[in-house]
């Protein structure tokens, strides 16, 4: 049967909570937590009503990946250090869809990851607007979060595919995207090469290409050189080999940075997030999204659970993705 988790006040004071699962496992959480929404689906673009309702309610039940258990997470402002958002299109949030923009004002700190690959509107990202539309959102996004350091560009992933016998990629878009970003005041750019999960090969007739390490380092070196001249800092997301080309190790959720930027200087959790990949530098957070919240962005390279349209307009079976 599915598990259930409750959060109850701990004995260590008002900031200590205990997460209890149905099997009796208890995990102490001390202090306000960093909330992530979400690595698992594009919540700001596709589920603004769900997020607004959860914030107003002050809690959300999260289905944990793989285990089938659930976890009750407090979203009360006193229990949230920072809310970290991930999206390819903040248009709905910035337009106050479902009153979400106003609802999120109750939190002391928002941090936004904006993914721009240059593939918006193509067959690889059919529901995503062109990159120029996303870049145009940044000034409003910075105004929302209050500091350009609270916005990070994700040029992620770098993806290669075959067009006949020719290998194509989204690298051509990198320079114009970087030049546009540099004019907004945002300086952090997070990059990774696509991981070719088996599920990707079941999404239509696409043939993917994976560059070897030497080719990746050459590409990364060129990106690092061009970005440095623009005042940008490139971070390698879960691919430490790219540090040889001048990238810094990424902490996409960075407890140290979130603590530094917090309006009251409140300390965020600083331990490594044990739920992420070995090379991931992220510090601890609680992700409130679910792979069951299928993403209608339709990105063919997605590692999660996207809604992939068929040529006839129908949808591919999610169990085969």
Range of the domain at 103: 5-320
Strand order in the sheet with 208-209: 166-169, 160-163, 208-209
pLDDT higher than threshold 80 for residue 201: yes
pLDDT one-digit tens code per residue, 258-300: 999 999 999 999 999 999 999 999 999 999 999 999 999 999 9
Rg (CA), the chain: 20
Lowest mean pLDDT among 23-32, 37-46, 154-163, 173-182: 23-32
- For residue 257, the SS3 value is helix
Residue 78 CB: number of other CB atoms within 10 A? 10
Residues 114 and 175: their CA atoms lie apart, in Å, by: 17
In the numeric block, which tokens belong to residue 211? Answer: 């560059």
Strand-strand pairing, 80-87 and 33-37: parallel
Domain count, the chain: 1
* Residue of 85, 46, 244, 242 lying closest to 157 (CA atoms): 242
pLDDT digits (tens, 9 = 90+) for 46-58: 999 999 999 999 9
Task: Provide DSSP, 67-85.
Answer: T--EEEEE--GGGEEEEEE
Q: Is the pLDDT of residue 19 over 50?
A: no
Say whether pLDDT at 170 is over 90: yes
Specify the pLDDT at position 45: 98
The mean per-residue pLDDT over the stretch 236-253 comes to: 97
What six digits make up the tokens of 303?
A: 């590692």
* Local confidence band at 112 (pLDDT 50, 70, 90 cut-offs): very high
Residues whose CB is less than 8 angstroms from the CB of residue 164 and which lie 6 or more positions away in sequence, other chains included: none
Q: What is the pLDDT of residue 4?
A: 40
Element (H, E) at 138: helix 138-145
Measured CA to CA, the distance from residue 280 to residue 259 in angstroms comes to 19
Answer yes or no: is pLDDT of 15 > 50. no
Residue 157 has pLDDT above 90, yes or no: yes
Say if pTM beats, i.e. exceeds, 0.85. Answer: yes
User: How far apart are the C-alpha atoms of 30 and 41, rounded to whole Å?
Assistant: 27
Mean of the pLDDT values across residues 12-41?
A: 62
Average pLDDT, the chain: 89
Residues above pLDDT 90, as percent of the chain: 79
What is the average per-residue pLDDT within 222-249? 97
Q: Which of 249, 230, 135 is nearest to 192 (CA)?
A: 249
Residues in a beta bridge with 114: 87, 153
Question: Cα 75 vs. chain centroid, distance in angstroms?
Answer: 19
List the single range of 2-16, 156-170, 172-186, 231-245 with lowest mean pLDDT: 2-16
Q: What is the pLDDT of residue 161?
A: 97
User: Is pLDDT of 309 > 90?
Assistant: no
Please state, in angstroms and rounded to a whole number, the distance separating the CA atoms of residues 215 and 316. Answer: 34
């Amino acid at each position: 049967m599915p598990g259930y988790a409750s959060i109850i006040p701990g004995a260590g004071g008002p900031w200590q909570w205990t997460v209890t699962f149905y099997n009796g496992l208890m995990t102490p959480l001390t202090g306000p937590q960093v909330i992530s929404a979400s690595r698992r689906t594009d919540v700001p673009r596709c589920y603004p009503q769900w997020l607004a309702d959860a914030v107003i309610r002050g809690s959300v039940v999260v289905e944990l990946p793989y285990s089938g258990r659930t976890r009750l997470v407090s979203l009360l402002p006193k229990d949230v250090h920072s809310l970290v958002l991930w999206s390819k299109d903040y248009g709905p949030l910035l337009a106050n869809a479902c009153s979400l923009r106003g609802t999120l004002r109750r939190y002391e700190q928002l941090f936004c990851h904006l993914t721009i690959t240059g593939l918006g509107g193509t067959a690889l990202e059919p529901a995503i607007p062109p990159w120029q539309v996303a870049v145009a959102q940044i000034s409003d996004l910075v105004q929302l979060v209050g500091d350009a350091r609270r916005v990070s560009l994700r040029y992620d992933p770098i993806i290669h595919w075959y067009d006949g016998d020719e290998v194509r990629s989204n690298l051509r878009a990198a320079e114009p995207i970087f030049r546009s970003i540099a004019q907004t005041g945002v300086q952090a750019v997070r990059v990774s090469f696509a991981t070719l999960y088996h599920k990707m090969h079941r999404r239509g007739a696409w043939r993917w290409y994976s560059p070897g390490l030497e080719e990746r380092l050459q590409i990364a070196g060129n990106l690092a050189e061009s970005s440095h001249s623009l005042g940008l800092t490139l971070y390698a997301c879960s691919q430490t080999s790219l540090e040889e080309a001048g990238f810094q190790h990424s902490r996409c959720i960075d407890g140290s940075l979130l603590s530094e930027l917090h309006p009251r200087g409140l300390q965020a959790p600083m331990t490594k997030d044990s739920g992420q990949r070995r090379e991931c530098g992220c510090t601890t957070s609680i992700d409130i999204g679910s792979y069951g919240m299928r993403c209608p962005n339709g990105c063919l390279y997605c590692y999660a659970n996207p809604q992939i349209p068929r040529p006839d307009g129908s949808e591919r079976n999610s169990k085969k993705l």
